[in-house]
Amino acid sequence: MDEDDLTATDPAVGLAAVAALHRLAERLENVHVDHAREAGWSWAEIAAVLGVSKQAAHQKHQRREE
């Protein structure tokens, strides 16, 4: 809980940072996928850049457009 406890060797610090990074990545993915869709990108184009299948990108983000 203390700021002083946050040493780099504490696994809790590293794990919390990784969990926070996942949430940050998810949020940024939403931001940029929305932006790409508004700019007229197809799901295939978005998926290619994200490195996932077209189905995966579509399934994950389509809901956000509705």
Partner 1 sequence: MFERFSSEARSTVTRAYDVRQRRGDRQIGCEHLLIGLASAGEPHLLSEGLTESSLEQALAAGPGSPESDAQALRAIGIDIERIRDNVDKVFGPEAWTDAEPALKRSGGITERILGRSARLTPAAKKALELALREAIVDHSREISTTHLLRAILRSPGTVVPAIVPDATLARLRESTRRAA
Residues at the interface with partner 1 (CB under 8 A): 1, 6, 8, 13-14, 16-17, 19-21, 23-24, 26-28, 30-31, 34-35
CB of 6 to partner 1, least distance (A): 5
Contact criterion met (CB below 8 Å) for 54 and 43:
yes
CB of 46 to partner 1, least distance (A): 15
Q: Interhelix angle for 11-38 vs 54-65, to 10°?
A: 80
Contact criterion met (CB below 8 Å) for 45 and 11:
no
CB of 4 to partner 1, least distance (A): 12
